[in-house]
Amino acid sequence: MRAFRFIAVLALSACALAPSYRDTSVQISSMALFDPARYAGLWYEVASFPTPFQSGCSDTIAAYELRDDASLGVLNRCNTANGVQSISGSANVVGPGRLKVRLNGVPVAADYWVLWVDEGYRTAVVGVPSGRAGWILNRTPDIPADRLRAAIDVLDFNGYDTSRIVRTPRSGQ
């Protein structure tokens, strides 16, 4: 666990220098009617823009738990060649669809914007204003083609270079 935190700190530092996947001259918009209670629960990462802190990951999940203080508990987990890696923390809602995520052992908080969630809260698109990361999440490991297309369109609308998105590896595939 200590090694994962160290790697996460290094990776976040590297992200500050990493190129953006998004044209930052394009306005980015978060979801105005975001409901943290409906967002809470287990999400499977379906696709993402490659980031150093997720290098070598497969079967990536994010779990959010609504807390009494209206913040969200966060657990990110993935499988690597060295076993299961995880990191936990918290997320505070700081605006409509805007989360300030603090991971344990990581000295800086990150801005995660929920760009879109379908009406049933089955598929979500999360991005960062800098464009250095972005994720397509789904409540199940398999995403229907229409919702994947919609998620990619949301990323494109928000200035992301969708040709650079990568499907998240899953064991047994």
Compute CA distances 47 → 62, 105, 143, whole Å: 13, 25, 10
Distance CA 38, CA 19 (A): 33
Query: How do the pLDDT tens digits run along the chain, 173 residues long?
Result: 444 444 444 344 444 556 799 999 999 999 999 999 999 999 999 999 988 888 899 999 999 999 999 999 999 999 999 999 999 999 999 999 999 999 999 999 999 999 999 999 999 999 999 999 999 999 999 999 999 999 999 999 999 999 999 999 998 65
User: Nearest 10 degrees: CA dihedral of 147, 151, 154, 156?
Assistant: -120
pLDDT value for 17: 56
Per-domain residue ranges of the chain: 2-167
Q: What is the pTM of this model?
A: 0.88
pLDDT value for 18: 65
For the domain 2-167, what is the CATH code? Answer: 2.40.128.20
